[in-house]
Homo-oligomer: A and B are copies of this chain.
């Protein structure tokens, strides 16, 4: 399943999710309730052992109140800046 580059993508995305979650003091159980995704499934995603679907990532991003791109952006990306919101860092609740 999945080659090395893809593995790294999953591991990186998982790390970002975990960082975001723990920065908010949420447990897997709590995030599970917020997302409707089971805690074991979240654990697998955060440890890069599962290849989540797009809508699964979206539910996580929404629950953590970060953008989907925040969770999957790999440094090498120049995202065209959707104007007015740089998303350059942790967004602490500035929405327009």
Interface residues of A (CB under 8 A from B): 2, 5-6, 9-10, 13, 24-27, 29-30, 34, 51-55, 57-59, 61-62, 65, 67-70, 72-82, 85, 87-90, 92-93, 95-96
Residue contact B69 to A30, C-beta cutoff 8 Å: no
In addition to A68-B76, A69-B73, A70-B77, 4 A-B residue pairs with Cβ atoms within 8 Å of each other are A2-B55, A6-B59, A29-B95, A68-B74
> A-side binding surface: helix, strand, loop or mixed?
loop
Residue contact A10 to B55, C-beta cutoff 8 Å: yes
Residue contact A55 to B89, C-beta cutoff 8 Å: no
- Once A54-B57, A62-B79, A69-B79 are accepted as A-B contacts, the answer to whether A26 and B93 lie under 8 Å apart by CB is no
